[in-house]
Structure 1
Amino acid sequence: MHGPPWVGWLLMLLSAATGGYYLARARPGTAGQRVEARGEGLMGLGMAVMAVPATVVAPPSWSPWLYVAVFGVASLWALAYRHLHLVVGSAAMVYMALTMTGTPAAGPAGHAAHAGGTAPGGVPLLTGLLLGYYSLFIIATGIRLASADSSATTATTSTTVTRATGALSATAVAPSGSGTARRPEVLRASRLAMGIGMFAMLLVL
């Protein structure tokens, strides 16, 4: 990817950590949740490899076509399970990989980016649509995360007050003491991190 090397390294660390988290949680849950976790994990690891600064580690000439093949299949796989967000993400990975090849599909701007390293790559309209999608996704996910944190804080305060009055029941103890109560927040934070990573990669395309 283009841009300062430190941006690439930060994106690599963010994407690798998020992708690893998704793969770690791919076993539990329903079939649909496992498909989503594996798809997000694959995308996170792919983003991590793609984000490695080319000035530090030069990728082989065939690597963009590997991305196209892997995420093209991943996009069809996500479409079969009706995970539309994964479809968009996998298609965005294919688009960024094609831009890296400098093929005519990337447009004149893509050739300029590879020649000078400063001009934006890809088709401006398509890049703009993807940036708009991920902007809305980041905002929506951030709002849900903030709302969940507010609800968790309120529940914790209520539990503390109830304990102080000596009226805490066994059914109230279980949710507050369980680690599963915070898992939705971790998942939303991971989605937010993935969205920010994809947005940043599109910006430096």
Structure 2
Amino acid sequence: MHGPAMSGWLLMALCAVTGSYCLLRTRTGSEEERRTARAEALMGFGMAAMAVPAAAVAPPAWGWGVYAVLFGAAALRALWFSRRSGHHLHHLVGSSAMVYMALVMGRAGAGGHGGHAAHTMGSPGMAGAGGIPLLTGLLLVYYAVYVLRSGARLVPVTATVPGGPPSAGWGTRPELALACRLTMGIAMFAMLLTL
């Protein structure tokens, strides 16, 4: 490995590809499936942007505030739609985690990007480099459980219905949608670990 910059670039590429596939999924399926795909695409692209190593592109000081507002709005949207679907509760947790990471990295200063190098916080509200340790720990546990559950659900999925025709296209393959969710869960876990 070439240090934190290489892992940041790899994480950025993985999240961008995942976001792109989720964007492709917005063209097919029911309205609920398209809504879910849009939320997942936003999360994938947002995570990709946050993972760009600071050595390559130093974010402006106000950039973290933009992330916080954008994902705060996404969290409110997920809260609204969670009345219909339990999966939107996961989007609520994910968007809230993104707000949290943006606030922590914004307080850490311009160096708190991409590689998420250790920082000292001047604010008593955010203890240490990882923000609030209990909250960071709870988010890590949530994403560890989410990744394990998603991985277990991915194993038995097949691309075709027994006795039926193969899936119509890339946007309708359930195993790819599950793989994207698994990928974003792993990426979120990695970002929280290095916070």
2:120 corresponds to: 112
Shift of 1:178: 3.8
Residues 173-188 of structure 1: pairs in structure 2 closer than 5 A: 175-179=164-168, 183-188=173-178
Query: Does residue 74 of structure 1 match 2:74?
Result: yes
2:187 corresponds to: 197
Shift of 1:28: 1.9
Code of the aligned partner of 1:125: L
Shift of 1:179: 4.1
| Structure 1 residue matching 2:120: 3-state secondary structure | helix
Does the 8 Å CA contact 2:75/2:95 hold for their aligned counterparts?
yes
Code of the aligned partner of 1:196: I
| Structure 2 residue matching 1:195: 3-state secondary structure | helix
* Structure with a larger share of its residues in helix: 1
1:89 to 83, 86, 94: 94
Shift of 1:197: 0.6
Shift of 1:148: 1.6
Code of the aligned partner of 1:97: A
Code of the aligned partner of 2:173: R
Shift of 1:76: 0.3
Structure 1: gaps of 5 or more residues: 104-109, 156-171
- In structure 2, distance between residues paired with 1:24 and 1:183: 11
| Structure 2 residue matching 1:14: 3-state secondary structure | helix
The structure-2 alpha-carbon separation of the partners of 1:101 and 1:145, relative to structure 1 and needing over 3 Å to count, comes to same
Structure 2: gaps of 5 or more residues: 83-87, 109-117, 123-127
Shift of 1:202: 0.5
Shift of 1:125: 0.5
- The count of residues paired between Structure 1 and Structure 2 equals 173
- In structure 2, distance between residues paired with 1:80 and 1:33: 16
| Structure 2 residue matching 1:102: 3-state secondary structure | helix
- In structure 1, distance between residues paired with 2:57 and 2:188: 20
- In structure 2, distance between residues paired with 1:153 and 1:140: 22
Does the 8 Å CA contact 1:113/1:121 hold for their aligned counterparts?
no
1:102 to 79, 98, 107: 107
2:135 corresponds to: 126
Identity of aligned residues (%): 53
When the two chains are superposed, the root-mean-square deviation of aligned CA atoms in Å is 2.4
Q: Which runs of 4+ in 1 moved over 2 A?
A: 152-155, 176-182
- In structure 2, distance between residues paired with 1:144 and 1:111: 37
The structure-2 alpha-carbon separation of the partners of 1:29 and 1:125, relative to structure 1 and needing over 3 Å to count, comes to same
Please, what TM-score do these two structures have when normalized by structure 1?
Answer: 0.77
- In structure 2, distance between residues paired with 1:30 and 1:78: 17
Shift of 1:79: 0.8
Which of 1 and 2 has greater Rg?
Answer: 1
